[in-house]
Amino acid sequence: MSEKPRKKTLFGRYLAVSIATVLVGFTLLGVMLTFFVMQFSQNEKQALLQENASSVAEMMSENIMVEGNRLFLTTDEAERWKSVMMTIAQSLDAEIFLTDVNGDLILCSEIKDCRHRYKSVDNEIMSVVLNREYFENGTLGGIYPDAHFTSGMPVIISGNSGKAVVGAVFVSTQASSMFYIAGEIVKIFLMAAVATLAIMFCMSGIFTYNMVKPLRQMAIAAKKFGAGDFSSRVKITTNDEIGQLAGEFNNMADSLALSEGTRRSFIANVSHELKTPMTTIGGFVDGILDGTIPPDRQSYYLNIVSTEVKRLSRLVQSMLALSRIDSGTMKLNKQKFNLTEIIIETLLTFEQRIELKHINIMGLEDISELYIDGDKDMLHQVVYNIMENAVKFTNENGYIRITAQKEPQRTVISIENSGEGINSEEIKHIFERFYKTDKSRSVDKNGMGLGLYIVKTILRLHGGDITAYSELGRSCRFTFWLPVDNNKRLERDKSAVKQLKGEKKEIRGNKNE
């Protein structure tokens, strides 16, 4: 059985990447710093050795004695020069020695274990030193067992026959001394790097933890959402991308909570809407069949059954419309018709309820014929749903005002009713599916919260829209508009232009006659 792969957290990965980046940066910085320090130290050491070799060579050229082609030092001079060379060598932590032109030792600053007396300086090196200054980082032709910095200077004397090179002065020091300095610098650098890494680790850990904290909260909240609990929210502490994401996550949670609430409300409403008429229908039909209801009362109860069947039919139609909207299969069957007739027919449908509540219908006398291009059945449902709400929520002895306006680009219909109205917090949600303002069902006993959602969808399919405005405690107004068919309008404009051109030609013909 394969092991489950270990979970890699964003916190761990971010922290690891941060530390790795800092480590790589410190390593590169350390390598570059060490290189430059060693290069600088070598240059400084070279300049110092060359300067002292030049000084010793110059002093010897002025005071040394020569016999033939050989340097000559008396015992007293040898001791004096040895003392001078030892003093300079100790200050430099170096060795100073003098050779003749053949590379053989004449004088050395070392008292014991002088390695120069056993081996002469290589001829190739001497050929360079006798002509110009010389510097190397090496063993000086095998004289030294390890690397040394060595500077050589020719000893030049002036005589009757001119200047002559009679020997060379070498100043040499161990190269390891420079590595010691570089090592110390590296130690200091490493201690500083470790301290910096420790501080960086703490700061980066705290920063990363706080950065991913909202993401962890979102993950926990998402799990709760999956279990049906939409109460969790993420605390917003920053205004950066994470803070914006947390804000959008909370907005999504609000939408989910609202959708879940409306879904549950919808299920409860549909259950009630199905149960109530079906119970009524079943009860009355059984009563007729078993003779409980006498024949003279059957017509009355059959009318009630018919009403309940129509109620069920409206419910099914709404559900089918919702299904077509969700699946994208709602298609328009456009035709030209008079919208005014639809409005009047819908009012006649609610005539009994209008008379029962003594509602005053206003504005019909000012409405002319409104021919539009659209799906007649769908737009009939739009007018029906809006008018049904208006009749349902209009107060006793209230009014319903209908206005219509034909504009160049659109037709605008407004239906206003008196009554309690809708508060500002709810009015922005009334076109959402399953949303009901009358949650107590004290007035809207038959609604499911789908009517206005379907209305808005149908209007938008036609290229129109709907808005709502309410004065709480006074009235509520729904205004919807439909665009004029631009193609037919363009044909009418072309026809008018042709007619106008024809009239002009006719006038010109009459003038010619």
The CATH number for 386's domain is 3.30.565.10
The tens digit of pLDDT for each residue in 315-336 reads 777 677 667 766 666 677 888 9
Q: What pLDDT is recorded for position 495?
A: 54
Instruction: Enumerate the H helices of 105-240 as residue ranges.
Output: 123-129, 176-226
Cα dihedral 44, 45, 46, 52, rounded to 10, equals 110
Nearest to 454, CA basis, from 394, 389, 373: 389
Could you give the count of Cα atoms lying within 13 Å of 417 in the half-sphere of its Cβ? 21
Q: Do 481 and 367 lie in a common domain?
A: yes
205 in any annotated domain: no
447 in any annotated domain: yes
Structural tokens at position 310: 């129509």
207 in any annotated domain: no
Q: Do 320 and 343 lie in a common domain?
A: no
Which range scores top for mean pLDDT: 49-63, 107-121, 172-186, 375-389? 375-389
Last residue of a domain, one of 140, 165, 182: 182
Q: What pLDDT is recorded for position 50?
A: 86
How many domains, in total, are found in the chain? Answer: 3
Q: Which CATH number goes with the domain that contains 171? A: 3.30.450.20
Say which amino acid occupies 292.
T
The tens digit of pLDDT for each residue in 63-115 reads 776 666 666 676 777 788 888 888 888 888 888 888 888 888 888 888 776 77
Cβ atoms of residues 449 and 455 within 8 Å: no
CB under 8 Å to 371, separation ≥6 — which residues? 336, 337, 338, 339
Q: Which residue has the higher pLDDT, 415 or 180?
A: 415
Strand-pairing partners, residue 469, are 477
CB atoms near residue 4 (< 10 Å): 6
**Three-state DSSP class for residue 416:** strand
CB under 8 Å to 507, separation ≥6 — which residues? none
Lowest-pLDDT range of 74-88, 173-187, 380-394, 438-452: 438-452
Strand-pairing partners, residue 152, are 134, 170
CA gap 406, 409 in Å, rounded:
8
Q: Do 319 and 413 lie in a common domain?
A: no
Q: What pLDDT is recorded for position 478?
A: 94
Q: What pLDDT is recorded for position 403?
A: 93
CA gap 175, 64 in Å, rounded:
31
Q: Do 75 and 162 lie in a common domain?
A: yes
Q: Do 355 and 412 lie in a common domain?
A: yes
Structural tokens at position 208: 């990363």
Residue 152 has pLDDT above 50, yes or no: yes
The tens digit of pLDDT for each residue in 343-392 reads 998 888 888 889 999 999 999 888 888 888 998 888 888 898 899 889 99
> DSSP states of 372-414 as a string?
EEEEHHHHHHHHHHHHHHHHHHPPTT-EEEEEEEE-SSEEEEE
Question: Which pLDDT band holds residue 287 (cuts at 50, 70, 90)?
Answer: confident
220 in any annotated domain: no
Last residue of a domain, one of 306, 325, 344: 325
Task: Say whether pTM exceeds 0.85.
Answer: no
CA gap 371, 431 in Å, rounded:
26
Residue 464 has pLDDT above 80, yes or no: yes
Q: What pLDDT is recorded for position 436?
A: 66
Q: Do 31 and 143 lie in a common domain?
A: yes
Q: What pLDDT is recorded for position 3?
A: 53
Q: Do 284 and 390 lie in a common domain?
A: no
Cβ atoms of residues 110 and 181 within 8 Å: no
The tens digit of pLDDT for each residue in 493-509 reads 445 445 545 554 554 45
26 in any annotated domain: yes
In 258-389, DSSP assigns E strands to 334-338, 360-362, 371-375
Structural tokens at position 151: 């500077």
CA angle 72, 73, 75 (to 5 degrees): 145
Q: Do 102 and 38 lie in a common domain?
A: yes
**DSSP for residue 366:** G
Residue 283 has pLDDT above 70, yes or no: yes
Q: What range defines the domain where residue 84 resides?
A: 10-182
Residue 443 has pLDDT above 50, yes or no: no
91 alpha carbon, distance to own chain's centre = 65
At residue 368, φ and ψ (nearest 5 deg) are -95, 180
Q: What pLDDT is recorded for position 280?
A: 79
Q: Do 311 and 378 lie in a common domain?
A: no
Structural tokens at position 29: 């910085």
Mean pLDDT of the chain: 79
CA gap 207, 372 in Å, rounded:
63
Structural tokens at position 314: 């409206």
Q: What pLDDT is recorded for position 68?
A: 62
360-362: strand order across its sheet: 360-362, 399-406, 410-418, 475-483, 465-471
Q: Which CATH number goes with the domain that contains 309? A: 1.10.287.130
Cβ atoms of residues 85 and 116 within 8 Å: no
Q: Do 336 and 281 lie in a common domain?
A: no
Q: Do 53 and 170 lie in a common domain?
A: yes
pLDDT above 90 covers what percent of the chain? Answer: 11
363 in any annotated domain: yes
Q: Do the strands 410-418 and 399-406 form a parallel or antiparallel pair, or are they unpaired?
A: antiparallel
Could you give the count of Cα atoms lying within 13 Å of 109 in the half-sphere of its Cβ? 22
Residue 147 has pLDDT above 90, yes or no: no
Q: What pLDDT is recorded for position 467?
A: 92
108 in any annotated domain: yes
CB under 8 Å to 77, separation ≥6 — which residues? 63, 64, 65
Q: What pLDDT is recorded for position 199?
A: 83
Question: Which pLDDT band holds residue 266 (cuts at 50, 70, 90)?
Answer: low
Last residue of a domain, one of 182, 197, 221: 182
The tens digit of pLDDT for each residue in 188-236 reads 877 877 887 788 778 877 877 777 777 777 888 888 877 777 777 877 7
CA gap 407, 370 in Å, rounded:
11
Q: Do 354 and 383 lie in a common domain?
A: yes
224 in any annotated domain: no
Lowest-pLDDT range of 125-129, 134-138, 186-190, 280-284: 186-190
